[in-house]
Amino acid sequence: MAPGAPALWGGSLASLALVSSRLHPNDIPAVVAEEAAHLGAGGLLIYLSDLEQRLLVPFQPPGAEPLEPLSIDGTVAGRAYRSQRRVLLESTDGAGPRAACTTVWLPLLDSSARIGVISVCVDAGVELDETFLRQLDAISSLTAEIIANKADYGDVIARTRRTQEVSLAAEMRWSMLPPLTFTGRNLTISGVVEPAYEIAGDTFDYAVNSDSAHVAIIDAVGHSLEAARIANLAVVAYRHSRRRDLGLLETYRTMDRTLAVEFGQDKFATAQLATLTLATGELCWLNAGHPAPMLIRNGHQIDLVSEICLPIGLASVHGGLEPHLAETCLEPGDLVLFFTDGVSEARSIDDEEFGRDRLGDLIVRVAGADQDPPETMRLLGHAVLAHQLGVLQDDATLLVLAWDGPPASAKLDNEQAPVRLRS
């Protein structure tokens, strides 16, 4: 048992865990605030990130006085979200409801998928020692798990996270997406889809099974509700094949036949399918019509060029090149970036293409600034949007694998010292 664990499992944490199974989604903010107050942490507030990861939107009890959203960029709350670290803000102005306290901002993480942040006000008389801060971490972690688990039992969490109208195609897309980020002992998978409120045919999927990580990135033809339907069927066929332990080649053939039967010879989806062996770093992939993925190693970009087979849905109808697998071996610290053509072919108002070189340079610079993969993906997605002044002509999806080396050399606990600020 980790040091300090017996102290954490008691009082409010145990109470919150016990009541969580019967919580209505709307009850979460009030119940979590009440339990945190038993620790001496008052005024707990929950903020959830919006779908575009630009704003932190208040998740409040019914009937509460509405609070304004907070920007993820340029605020203390956003700093906790971006860095996935505690941020302590000591008040020195002597005014307001939080004048004589330290405000602690903590990230809400569901297996490193960033949900939002919470803040609590800790009175000056409460010692902010490591035991107390770990109790706040435990409350934050359990709150994130509760929010993630309760999201499908009501609509309040989904509604809170939306600051714009979501298209019907995007509703389908988000209902099929896995969590945007997974972090294990030696691997992080993180993705982003844009435009978040209108995404249709672009998607990704992944699973970590024993010593293997499986990923797929898919771009269905068109930008309509039909594109979303094609993408959904492609994902379901991929998952069905993966859960039957089919290899990449047979998975590709199964997906191809499925789309051809259901949508005919004129509908298809480009895709990349990949498997990473976690113990060795061996990466095996198949490219069905996508731009070549990028390997980022020691600050340099390497294009992972391979043979390209027909998009799924076309091979069994038209025949063509036999699918081939490509292989490479990753080194600890490598990033592999998969992306759809809506990223590299995004054009500015002056008809300037975003391009591979710009994308490669950007990920090298962002990753070199010690940004975690989820923040790297957020920044890349926003850069593509900004290139087209926020209005994409095509869906854009990015997915990154970050491999840290064999499991024995990797660490699960990446706890860092909190950031301390004064207002």
Can you give the pLDDT at residue 3? 37
Are residues 107 and 9 part of one domain?
yes
How many Cβ atoms are within 10 Å of 26's Cβ, its own excluded? 16
CA distance 412 to 410: 7
User: Given pLDDT bands bounded at 50, 70 and 90, which one contains residue 92?
Assistant: low
Domain check: are 187 and 221 in the same one? yes
Regarding whether 198 and 120 lie in a shared domain, the answer is no
* pLDDT of the residue at 185: 87
Domain boundary among 160, 184, 215: 160
Residue at 10 is within a domain: yes
Give pLDDT tens digits for 368-415: 888 999 999 999 999 999 998 878 778 999 999 999 999 875 555 545
- What is the model's pLDDT at position 229? 96
* Structure token pair of residue 249: 């080649």
| Mean pLDDT on 43-58 | 97
Same domain, 275 and 340: yes
Residues 198-254: pLDDT tens digits?
A: 999 999 999 999 999 999 999 999 888 999 999 999 999 999 999 999 999 999 999
pLDDT at 101 over 90: no
Percent of the chain with pLDDT over 90: 73
pLDDT band at 1 (very low <50, low <70, confident <90, very high): very low
Whether 343 shows a pLDDT value over 80: the answer reads yes
Return the CATH number at 38: 3.30.450.40
200, 312: one domain: yes
pLDDT at 152: 92
340 with 379, same domain: the answer is: yes
Mean pLDDT of the residues in the chain: 89
Could you tell me which residue, 193 or 129, shows the higher pLDDT?
193
Read off the amino acid at residue 212. S
Number of folded domains that form the chain:
2
Q: What is the pLDDT of residue 7?
A: 41
Angle at 289 between CA 283 and CA 290, to 5 degrees: 60
- Which stretch of DSSP H or E encloses residue 182? strand 181-183
Determine what percent of the chain falls in helix, strand and coil, rounding each to the nearest 5.
Answer: 35, 30, 35
Is the pLDDT score of 4 beyond 50? no
With beta carbons less than 8 A apart as the criterion, state whether 340 and 217 touch.
yes
Asked whether residue 135 is assigned to any structural domain, the reply reads yes
Domain range enclosing 379: 168-409
Domain end marker among 116, 140, 160: 160
Separation CA 392–CA 23 (nearest Å): 39
Domain co-membership, 372 together with 333: yes
- Pair (117, 195) in one structural domain: no
Question: What are the pLDDT digits (tens) for 54-65?
Answer: 999 999 999 999
- Looking at the fold, whether 237 and 256 belong to one and the same domain comes out as yes
Q: Which one of 138, 160, 182 terminates a domain?
A: 160
The structure's pTM equals 0.90
- Same domain (yes/no): 114, 177: no
